Amino acid sequence: MSDFNTIFRRYHQPLVLYAYKFVANEDVSLDLVQDVFALIWEKQKLGLDEEHLKAYLFRSTRNACLNYLKHQKVIQKHKQLTSLVNMEIRHFESGEKSLIEKESLAKIHQAIHSLSAIHREVIELSRFEGLKNKEIAERLNIPVRTVETRLFRALTSLKEELSEKLLHILLHICQLKK
Taking the alpha carbons at both ends of the chain, their separation in whole angstroms is 63
> Degrees (nearest 5) of the Cα angle 101, 104, 107?
150
Nearest to 122 by CA among 143, 150, 161: 150
| pLDDT tens digits, one per residue of 128-175 | 888 899 999 999 999 999 999 999 998 888 888 777 767 666 666 644
**CATH architecture, domain defined by 97-177:** Orthogonal Bundle (1.10)
Nearest to 142 by CA among 165, 118, 158, 160: 118
Return all residues near 66 (Cβ < 8 A) that are at least 6 apart.
22
Does the pTM of the predicted model rise above 0.85?
no
pLDDT band at residue 105 using 50, 70 and 90 as cut-offs? confident
Q: If residue 124 lies in a helix (H) or strand (E), which one and from where to where?
A: none
CATH 2.60.120 applies to domain 4-79: no
